[in-house]
Amino acid sequence: MAHLLFYEKPVPLNKDIHRNLCIKTADNLYGFCRFTNSVLLAGVEFIHAAKEYNIVFTKVGESIMPVALLGLRNDENLYVSAENRWDAHYIPAFIRRYPFILAESGQGHDQKTVCIDETFVGLDNQEGRRLFNDHGEPTEFLNNAIKFMQDYQEQYHRTEIFINRIKDFDLFTEINAQAQLPNGEKLSMGGLLGIDEDKLLQLEKSKALELFRSGELSWVYAHLLSMTNMPRLGERLVKRRSSP
């Protein structure tokens, strides 16, 4: 899964070019991720996400990333309604930060450039929340968006530490996410990883204590609990197929 996903034309935010740009904040602007069947999660999101999504892990090259499953097939998001509204209580941070993204500036990993996807349908020059004031200074809305992205970056760095710990403890196992529909049809997604609870219970005390004191043990159990949400994806698919 690519880091950019639904970002089609991210460009650096410029106070001169984008001086009058506004962002609409209506709840029916989620069409941009209609064809995204999984999205990155930070570990701090697991507790909230586990109530509504399946949290699994996927390999991208040599990296392992936690994702929320949004569909059972490629190019399918069962959480975006026909009216382009998000059909769940919790919206992953990766979705909420759109149309903004922080990109490396080319001057080192610590230097980030604020970019915006110019293809977002919520961009407008008259209606919405302004990004810059008349003096070309960032508005409170833009500053809050930047702070949100910076916090997300920090949380994802913490998530990478968690992933490496689970990997070092040899707790990952291959899983096949499956859902059976009422008509007997079975859908599955392979190539995924989960945390092996049997191995977790057999961890030596020092490693188990490390997981506990890091606060990451709750993330592990949130992931395990989230696997009971698989039938909900099947229910959503059946509902989607039966909609006119």
Whole domain around residue 117: which residue ranges?
Answer: 10-238
Q: What is the pLDDT along the chain (244 residues), one digit of tens a residue?
A: 345 689 999 999 999 999 999 999 889 999 999 999 999 999 999 999 999 999 999 998 889 999 999 998 888 999 999 999 999 999 999 999 999 999 876 655 567 899 999 999 999 988 999 999 999 999 999 999 999 999 999 999 999 999 999 999 999 999 987 777 777 777 777 789 999 999 999 999 999 999 999 999 999 999 999 999 988 888 888 888 876 6
Find the length of the chain.
244
Q: Tokens in use for 154? A: 């920090």
Given the DSSP bridges, would you call strands 112-117 and 100-104 parallel, antiparallel or unpaired?
A: antiparallel
pTM score: 0.90
Is residue 4 assigned to a domain?
A: no
Is residue 135 assigned to a domain?
A: yes
Mean pLDDT of the chain: 91
What digits encode the pLDDT tens for the residues 232-244? 888 888 888 876 6
Q: Where would I find the beta strands (DSSP E) of the chain? A: 10-12, 22-23, 38-40, 54-60, 63-69, 100-104, 112-117, 123-124, 129-130, 172-180, 186-195
Is residue 150 assigned to a domain?
A: yes
Is residue 203 assigned to a domain?
A: yes
Sign, Cα dihedral of 208, 198, 159, 25: negative
Is residue 3 assigned to a domain?
A: no
Is residue 5 assigned to a domain?
A: no
Q: Which amino acid is present at 133?
A: N
Phi, psi dihedrals of residue 109, rounded to the nearest 5°: -65, -25
Q: Which amino acid is present at 116?
A: I
Is residue 99 assigned to a domain?
A: yes
Domains of the chain: total:
1
Is residue 202 assigned to a domain?
A: yes
